[in-house]
Amino acid sequence: MAGYTLAELALHLGCGFVGDGETRIVGVCTLFPGLPGRVSFLANPAYRRLLGRTEAAAVVLNEADSPSCLVPALIAANPHLAFARLAELFAPPRRTEQGIHPTAVVDQTARVHPSAQIGPHCIVEAGAEVAEAVVLGPHCVVAESARIGPHSQLVAKVYIGPGVSLGSRCVLHPGVVIGADGFGFARDGERWVKVPQLGAVRIGDDVEIGANTTVDRGALDDTVLEDGVKLDNQIQIGHNVHIGAHTVIAACSGISGSTVIGRRCMIGGGVGMNGHLQIADDVVITGMTMVTHSLHAAGVYSSGLPVDDNRRWQRNVARFRHLDALAGRVRHLERSQTAPMDPEAAEEGPDA
C-alpha cells in the first residue's frame, strides 16, 4: 500500500508524534467521521468533542489537545498549516500536455515557451508572452502584450487583458477577469463620458484568485496585487487599487478605486470599501463591514449588526428612527443640569 508512515510524516513536517510511528497514511480526511488510513486535523477547539469519535488513522493537533485523542497524532504548533502541507503530499499531480491545442489561436508574434500548455479554444494575441510550464485551460484569452509568468495556471475561461503582467506560480480559477476597464466616467450634463482606462494590472508571484473575481485595469497608473495575495470568489477590485503582499480577501467583497491596502491584511466576506482609502498593514476587517474612512493602525475593525429575531429587530429599527430626537433631549437635559443658578433666586432660598 502506498503512502507514508506517521514517523515519515512527522519528519516531513519537523514535528513530534504520539502513538504507533508505523501507522500508514494514504490520504487526508475530515475529522468526523474520518476514514481509516487517512489523517485529519483539529484546529478549532469547538470540534475537540469529535476526537473520541473519529475513524481517522491519525490526527494533526497541538500538544494541549493530544490527551483527548484516542488515535495516533502528529503534534504541531499550527495544526491547520501542518495539515495543509500534508494535503500537498497527497494531492494528485496536475496533468499537463505540452504544446498548443489544434483549436487554439496563437498570434505569430506571441512568445509561447515549448513547455507551456495552450488548451482548447484559447487565444493568445500579438506580443503576448506565455512562460515556462504555464497551463492555459480551455477558452482562456491572453490579450495583446500581456505576460504570464512561469508555472502559472489559468484554469478555464480566464481573461487576461492587454498589457497585464502575471507573476510566477499564480493560479486563476474559472471566470476570472484581469484587466477589464475600470469604472471611469465624467459627467457632461445629463450624460456620462467614458474616461479611457490607460493603465494595466501588475500581479506578483504566488497569487491565487477565485472564480468570477474581477480586477480592473488602472485609469492611468496600474492596479497592483503584490506577492502572495489571495482573493476568494466573486470579488471586485476597482481601478488603481493597490493590495499589499500576503493580504487575503474573502468572497463578495468590493474594493473601490484607488484604495491602498497594506500587507498581511485579512478582509472578511462581503466587506465594502470606499475609494481613495489607506488601510494599514496587519489590519483585520470582519465580514460585512462597510469601510468609509482610512484605517491607519493595525487591529481588528467591524461594523454592521448581527442577525436577530425578526420581531425584536423590527422594534429596534423603530427605535433607531427616534435616536436623533432622543440625543437632542439628552443634550437639553445635560445643559439644564449644568447651567449656572440665578444669583437672585439663590439668595431668596428654596421657600421664595
Structural domain boundaries in the chain = 4-90, 176-301
> Which pLDDT value is given to residue 172?
98
Burial environment of residue 36 by CB neighbours within 10 A (0 to 12, 13 to 18, 19 or more): exposed
**Rg (the chain; Cα; Å):** 29
> Which pLDDT value is given to residue 338?
75
Which residue positions in the chain have pLDDT lower than 50?
350, 352
Domain formed by 176-301, architecture? 3 Solenoid (2.160)
5 grid coordinates: 508512515
CA–CA separation, 29 and 87 (whole Å): 9
Active site residues: 239
> Which pLDDT value is given to residue 341?
60
CA–CA separation, 117 and 133 (whole Å): 7
How do residues 265-311 score in pLDDT, each as one tens digit? 999 999 999 999 999 999 999 999 999 999 999 999 999 888 999 99
Residue matched to cell numbers 490607460: 198
> Which pLDDT value is given to residue 2?
77
How do residues 22-64 score in pLDDT, each as one tens digit? 999 999 999 999 999 999 999 999 999 999 999 999 999 999 9
> Which pLDDT value is given to residue 121?
98
Same fold, 4-90 and 176-301: no
DSSP designation for 273? E
> Which pLDDT value is given to residue 305?
83
Q: Where are the beta strands (DSSP E) in 46-176?
A: 58-61, 73-75, 99-100, 105-106, 111-112, 117-118, 123-124, 129-130, 135-136, 141-142, 147-148, 153-154, 159-160, 165-166, 171-172
Q: Which CATH number is correct for 4-90, 3.40.1390.10, 1.20.1260.10, 3.40.50.170, 3.60.15.10?
A: 3.40.1390.10
Enter the pTM of the model. 0.89
Q: Where are the beta strands (DSSP E) in 250-311?
A: 254-255, 260-261, 266-267, 272-273, 278-279, 283-285, 290-291, 299-301
- Please count the other Cβ atoms lying within 10 Å of the Cβ belonging to residue 248: 16
